[in-house]
């Protein structure tokens, strides 16, 4: 069955966990299942989640529309409209996690593979309070 191309009202969701690079703008380090609309992006993280307006000159939309549902990109860059700062999401691999994140996350969990790392962050409910 052919996929229906997204419209500006149809979000494009990436199934994966990403490392957030945001020079000069403090954001959480992890983006879980980022969801893009034509001029907005949002994602879950391990605390409160993020939602922001994108600069209209960001060229992410055409790249995202061509993605298959529930896939992931290795890297995607876009510009946050309020401060005109570039934000880059990089697919979180075990090597990237060990190099950039492990020392900064609560509990400093260890993983044996990228698949195990991705599964952990995709299946854990970080907002649950009991």
- In the predicted structure, residue 4 carries a pLDDT above the cut 50: no
As a dihedral over the C-alpha atoms of residue 43, residue 46, residue 50, residue 54, rounded to 10 degrees, the angle is -50
Residue identified by tokens 């954001």 is 27
Does 74 or 102 have the greater pLDDT score?
102
19 phi, psi to nearest 5 deg: -85, 130
Q: Retrieve residue 61's tokens.
A: 């939309």
pLDDT of residue 63: 65
> pTM above the 0.75 mark?
yes
């Amino acid at each position: 069955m052919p996929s229906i191309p997204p419209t500006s009202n149809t979000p494009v969701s990436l199934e994966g966990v990403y490392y957030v690079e945001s020079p000069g703008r403090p954001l959480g380090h992890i983006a879980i299942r980022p969801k893009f609309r034509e001029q907005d992006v949002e994602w879950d993280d391990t605390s409160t989640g993020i939602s922001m307006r994108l600069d209209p000159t960001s060229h992410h939309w055409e790249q995202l529309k061509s993605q298959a549902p529930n896939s992931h990109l290795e890297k995607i860059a876009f510009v946050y409209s309020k401060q005109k700062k570039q934000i880059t999401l990089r697919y979180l691999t075990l090597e990237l996690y060990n190099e950039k994140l492990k020392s900064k996350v609560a509990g400093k969990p260890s993983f044996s593979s990228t698949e195990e790392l991705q599964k952990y962050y995709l299946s854990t409910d970080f907002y649950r309070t009991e």
